């Protein structure tokens, strides 16, 4: 379902987004080991989709100033980099890198998610979507997202969605 507003939003199944990003990464890498990993992710996504149950999330527009900040943080998030001599050196510790990657992903989700359905707690109760006073994803919901393994791929899909033209967003 697509909601038409001044800026487009899109509802997508989480497993569909997982399949899309895994396929995109698979098709755009030359590294055979990564291709094998992405192929396994594609199979995993197809298995999840075939189960019939799929949480849905609505992705919306990210303001340009926030999107530029996200892109800058993403560009600077590197575990390794080349020094002035052309040598590859470690830029930061793995733990710091992973935490910064998680924080960046949550920042993307906070500014892009406009709703969700079919998210349930351990007791089978549906978790309603909530926003904070700035009309962004509430920290309680963001905390829940942080512990969902399939949400790792959603920030990549969100950034991909932001780059589409209005015509592409309609389909």
Residue-by-residue pLDDT tens, the chain, 171 positions: 344 444 567 888 888 988 998 899 899 988 888 899 899 999 999 998 999 889 999 988 888 888 889 888 888 888 778 778 888 888 888 888 888 888 888 888 899 999 999 988 888 899 999 999 999 999 999 888 887 766 777 888 888 877 776 666 666
pLDDT given at position 96: 85
Q: How far apart are CA 61 and CA 144, in angstroms?
A: 22
Alpha carbon distances (Å) from 81 to 34, 72, 75, 84, 92: 20, 16, 12, 10, 10
pTM score, whole prediction: 0.76
Full strand arrangement of the beta sheet holding 2-3: 2-3, 9-13, 56-59, 113-117
Per-residue model confidence (pLDDT) at position 115: 92
- Predicted confidence at residue 7, as pLDDT, reads 57
Give pLDDT, residue 132.
Answer: 92
pLDDT value for 131: 93
Q: What is the DSSP string of the chain?
A: -EE-SSS-EEEEEHHHHHHHHHHHHHHT---HHHHHHHHHHHHHHHHHHHTS---EEEE----HHHHHHHHHHHHH--SEEE-TTS-EEE-S-HHHHHHHHHHHHHHHHHHHEEEEES-B-TTS-B----B-TTSSB-HHHHHHHHT-GGGGSHHHHHHHHHHS-HHHHH-
In DSSP terms, 3 is beta-bridged to: 9
Residue of 6, 5, 12 whose CA lies nearest to 156: 12
Structure tokens at 13: 């199944």
Residues 20 and 67: beta-carbon distance below 8 Å? no
């Amino acid at each position: 379902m697509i909601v038409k507003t001044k800026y487009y939003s899109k509802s997508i199944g989480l497993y569909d987004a997982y399949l899309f990003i895994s396929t995109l990464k698979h098709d755009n890498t030359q590294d055979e080991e990564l291709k094998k990993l992405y192929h396994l992710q594609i199979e995993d996504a197809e298995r999840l989709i075939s189960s019939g149950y799929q949480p849905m999330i609505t992705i919306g527009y990210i303001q340009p100033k926030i999107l530029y900040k996200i892109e800058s943080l993403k560009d600077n998030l590197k575990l390794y980099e080349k020094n002035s001599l052309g040598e590859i050196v470690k830029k930061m510790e793995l733990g710091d890198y992973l935490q910064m990657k998680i924080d960046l992903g949550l920042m993307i989700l906070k500014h892009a998610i406009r709703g969700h359905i079919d998210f349930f707690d351990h007791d089978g109760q549906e978790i309603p979507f909530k926003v904070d006073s700035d009309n962004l994803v509430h920290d309680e919901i963001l905390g829940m997202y942080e512990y969902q393994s399939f949400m790792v791929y959603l920030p990549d899909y969100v950034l991909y969605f932001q780059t589409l033209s209005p015509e592409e967003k309609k389909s």
